[in-house]
Structures are given as structure tokens and as C-alpha cells.
Structure 1
């Protein structure tokens, strides 16, 4: 095998590897976008649950715990 054929083979393998890496990155970007949306949804849900907690209405502690 001469040097030109060797280089052509190496370039071919590098192109295949690059294409596979591009597909992997694209798939990970999609997964990341999905996870970001899910995180935002969960954060909204958590804030909603915190607002609906009894005694946490922000009225300065109208419900005092029993001391005795």
C-alpha cells in the first residue's frame, strides 16, 4: 500500500468518526433541551406547591404554633 492510499483510508475513518460524533452531539443536544424543559416544569410545580403550603401564605405568620 502506498502513502496516498494509507492517507485516503485514514481520512475515510476520520470522516466516519466525525459523522458519528456529530450524530452523538445532536442527540445529546436534543436530550438536553428535553431535560431543560422538564426541569423548568418541575421548578414551576415546586413553586406552586410551596405557594399552596398551609401557613406559608406570606401573611406574616398568622398561624402561630402552640407554645404549651
Structure 2
């Protein structure tokens, strides 16, 4: 087999591999962008829930001494 043919075959093989790698990078980039958006949404939801938990905690931590005793006392 002539050297030129072998080099052509090797070059063709490299071009095919490169095309597949380009596709893989594009898919990974798309997936990463989707995960980044999802992470941002989750952070916002966490902040909202944290604020809501603070409101609930403050409403539950009232002073029981200021309440009248229950009727059975």
C-alpha cells in the first residue's frame, strides 16, 4: 500500500473522529447549559423556602408567658 493512501486513510479516520468529538462537545454543552438553568431555578426556590421558613419560625417562637393559662388550670 502506498504511503499516500495510508496517510489519506489516517487523515480520513481523524476527520471522522473529530466530527464525532465536535458532536459530543455540542451535546455536552447543551446539557451543561440546561443543568445551569436548573441549578439557578433550584437556588431561587431554596432562597424562597428559606425565607418562608424564617417566617414560620418567627410565628412559632412566640412567648407563652403572655398567653392566658388553658381552661383546665
Q: TM-score, normalised by structure 2?
A: 0.75
Aligned-CA RMSD value: 2.2
Tell me, yes or no, if structure 1 residue 40 matches structure 2 residue 47. Answer: yes
1:7-54 superposed Cα distances (whole Å, 9 cap, x missing partner): 00000000000000000000000000000000000010001001011x
Larger helix percent: 2
Residue number in structure 2 paired with 1:51: 58
Find the structure with the greater CA-based Rg. Answer: 2
Structure 2: state its 5+ residue gaps. 1-7
Deviation at 1:62, TM superposition (A): 2.6
Q: TM-score, normalised by structure 1?
A: 0.80
Structure 1: tracts of 5 or more residues without a match: none
Structure 1 stretches of at least 4 aligned residues deviating more than 6 Å after TM superposition = none
2:27 is matched with: 20
CA distance in 2, matches of 1:19, 1:38: 29
Determine which structure has greater relative contact order: mean sequence separation of CA pairs < 8 Å that are 6+ residues apart, divided by chain length: 1
